[in-house]
Amino acid sequence: MALLRPSLPLALAHCAASLGAFVVGIALSAGGVGWAWLAGQVLLGFGFLHAFVLLHEAGHGTLFGQRRLDLIAGHVAGLLTLLPFWSWQRIHFRHHRFTGWQDLDATTAALVPRPLRRWERIVVDFAWATWVPLFALSYRIQNYWNVPRIAGYVSGPRDLRRIRWNVVILLLVYLAAIAVVGPGRVVELCGLGFLLSLVGQEFLILSQHTHVPQRLSEGPEARPFPPEEQEQFTRSLRLPPWLSTLLLHFDAHELHHLYPQVPGYRLRRIDYLPAHEVGWLTWIRAARGMSGTSFLFSNWDRTGVRV
């Protein structure tokens, strides 16, 4: 494990790839029509998704392994992916602390089994069947932009002040960009690319803990599960090796929870076969073969669909 340390060349290479995807994607999309525009949007979709993965890595402090560089990379990635870095980091730390306790983990609390209204079932099932990334959008708004909700999960006024300032500054930057470029032009330049990235993010995020049996606490004093006990609440995918490498092995989620101190781009060097790893196509067929409400608000112990 001592050999699986952050690498400055690898971190720089991934940052360069992400920025390159944005620059080339915007350049191709600037024409506004034709195959070049479509290629630019696809490239931007990858850029948004890749920056999202870099945000995750920087939040753990394992991208560069140097606090200042990881903070810079995290804030830049947050700016590019429309995610405030400080709220991401604090909520994600809580996720790792309370993995397995569905109601205490801010990222899974919204999916605690409950009676759903008829309109909720219709909306969720329609979005799931049509691949509309409703969950990815609500996930990021509720967990990283909804400051009143975040305040319930953050301890300490200093963290909350940071989060508030981060949200305000990002909003001002985005409003300034829209004012200068124009809302229609912004949508033309990166709207489809951002939508594609949300589809990709939803695919990755929902593969990690959703429909896996979790526990419900009897209060905030529940004992956190240490990393070596979190595999039971986690699922991994097997993406094509080249894609897994590009995404810093974000698909190896069980390994990430077992060894959160290991950089993502080193995870596949750990000689361990996760218990819940499944091929990405197998997972898509099984998960999308269910209704959205069954997949999101239940688990394989209840449905009998072990995916």
pLDDT for 32 equals 73
Query: What is the CB neighbour count within 10 angstroms for residue 121?
Result: 14
**Placement of tokens 């590019």 in the chain:** 80
The answer to whether 41 and 93 are in contact (CB under 8 A) is no
- The model carries a pTM of 0.94
Residue pLDDT tens, the chain, 307 long: 778 999 999 999 999 999 999 999 999 999 877 899 999 999 999 999 999 999 999 999 999 999 999 999 999 999 999 999 999 999 999 999 999 999 999 999 999 988 999 999 999 999 999 999 999 999 999 999 999 999 999 888 999 999 999 999 999 999 999 999 999 999 999 999 999 999 999 999 999 999 999 999 877 678 999 999 999 999 999 999 999 999 999 999 999 999 999 999 999 999 999 999 999 999 999 999 999 999 999 999 998 888 7
Interior angle at CA 150, CA 263 and CA 137, nearest 5:
70
Give the whole-angstrom CA distance, residue 66 versus residue 116: 45
Query: What is the CB neighbour count within 10 angstroms for residue 176?
Result: 10
Q: Alpha helix locations (H) across the chain?
A: 8-29, 34-60, 67-81, 85-97, 118-130, 134-140, 147-151, 157-181, 183-206, 241-246, 253-258, 280-288, 292-297, 300-303
pLDDT for 88 equals 96
Which among 87, 187, 183, 200 has a CA at the least distance from the CA of 140?
87
pLDDT for 31 equals 83
Give the whole-angstrom CA distance, residue 264 versus residue 50: 12
Give the whole-angstrom CA distance, residue 40 versus residue 47: 10
pLDDT for 221 equals 76
